[in-house]
């Protein structure tokens, strides 16, 4: 008799526990994808283009019409098809590519404020804005950028030379070559390059200044441009 009462008590406890725990319905999207540490947001993470221009990334992942888009799922889909760039737009669209076409540029992260269709706690671009990601170490080209901003300056991003013998920005202003008395800043380098007729400037190794009339073709992601300028540690 004692064992029977004990069994009934256990059954009642189990039933109580089951009823007190709400059942979570399965997600219609299935597994939403885990965060992928091998992908990084590009610059601010939010980019836009010139209205009416061609789409910066042209390969559309059709599967994302199922209202299940998240950054991880988009990145996984692009990676599976051999692409190193992934972009989400309008809360749902997923686009892939290996180069960025036409005129695009980074904007404030707050512009990408559309909730993801597959996970409302995440953001997937915005109307006319795309959340842009690149695989770690992936080098890609950018067609072109706006030539100026209201202040006349525009940060394009972080780039790398293909080798020590293949410099992407080949021109160095006179007096800028490793002279210890010159304390280089990013703004000072911009001024020096502009003064000799060049549109683009780049600082390297905390002090070197280089110029060109075209943006370098190989973008680098993952926070590799992290050395403070010797002339101003805030730059």
Q: Answer yes or no: do 119 and 155 share one domain.
A: no
When pLDDT is averaged across residues 38-54 and rounded to a whole number, the result is 74
Q: Is pLDDT at 180 greater than 70 in this prediction?
A: no
When pLDDT is averaged across residues 152-161 and rounded to a whole number, the result is 66
When pLDDT is averaged across residues 26-32 and rounded to a whole number, the result is 55
Number of domains in the chain: 2
Residue 10 falls inside a structural domain = no
Give Dmax over CA atoms of the chain in angstroms: 99
Give me the pLDDT at residue 94, please.
92
Residue 115 falls inside a structural domain = yes
Round to whole Å and give the CA distance between 200 and 176. 16
Spatial CA neighbour of 206 closest among 179, 226, 176: 226
Residue 2 falls inside a structural domain = no
Spatial CA neighbour of 47 closest among 136, 122, 134, 121: 134
Both structure tokens of 209: 């200044």
**How many C-beta neighbours within 10 Å does residue 168 have?**
17
Q: Is pLDDT at 200 greater than 80 in this prediction?
A: yes
Residue 31 falls inside a structural domain = no
Residue 88 falls inside a structural domain = yes
Find all residues with CB under 8 Å of 140, minimum gap 6, and list them. 84, 85, 98, 99, 100, 134, 218, 219
Q: Is pLDDT at 50 greater than 90 in this prediction?
A: no
C-beta pairs of 113-116 under 8 Å, 24+ apart in sequence: 114/89, 114/90, 115/91, 116/69, 116/70, 116/71, 116/88, 116/91, 116/92
Domain of 44, in residue numbers: 39-135
Give me the pLDDT at residue 153, please.
55
Q: Answer yes or no: do 125 and 151 share one domain.
A: no
Give me the pLDDT at residue 14, please.
35
Round to whole Å and give the CA distance between 23 and 76. 29
65 or 119, higher pLDDT: 119
Looking at 83-92, 112-121, 128-137, which range is the least confident one?
128-137
187 or 71, higher pLDDT: 71
Spatial CA neighbour of 130 closest among 174, 176, 71: 71
């Amino acid at each position: 008799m004692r064992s029977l009462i004990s069994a009934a008590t256990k059954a009642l406890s189990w039933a109580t526990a089951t009823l007190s725990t709400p059942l979570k319905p399965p997600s219609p999207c299935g597994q939403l994808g885990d965060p992928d540490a091998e992908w990084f947001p590009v610059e601010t993470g939010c980019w836009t283009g010139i209205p009416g221009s061609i789409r910066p990334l042209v390969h559309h992942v059709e599967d994302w019409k199922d209202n299940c888009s998240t950054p991880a799922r988009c990145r996984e889909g692009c990676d599976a098809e051999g692409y190193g760039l992934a972009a989400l737009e309008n809360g749902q669209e997923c686009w892939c590519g290996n180069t960025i076409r036409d005129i695009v540029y980074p904007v404030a992260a707050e512009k990408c404020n559309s909730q993801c269709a597959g996970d409302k706690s995440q953001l997937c671009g915005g109307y006319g804005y795309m959340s842009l990601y690149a695989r770690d170490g992936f080098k890609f080209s950018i067609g072109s950028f706006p030539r100026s901003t209201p202040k006349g300056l525009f940060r394009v991003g972080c780039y790398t030379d293909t080798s020590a013998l293949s410099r992407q920005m080949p021109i160095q202003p006179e007096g800028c070559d490793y002279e210890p008395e010159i304390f280089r800043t990013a703004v000072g380098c911009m001024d020096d390059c502009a003064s000799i007729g060049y549109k683009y400037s780049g600082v390297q190794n905390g002090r070197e200044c280089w110029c060109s009339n075209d943006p370098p073709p190989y973008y680098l992601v993952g926070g590799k441009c992290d050395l403070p300028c010797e002339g101003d540690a805030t730059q």
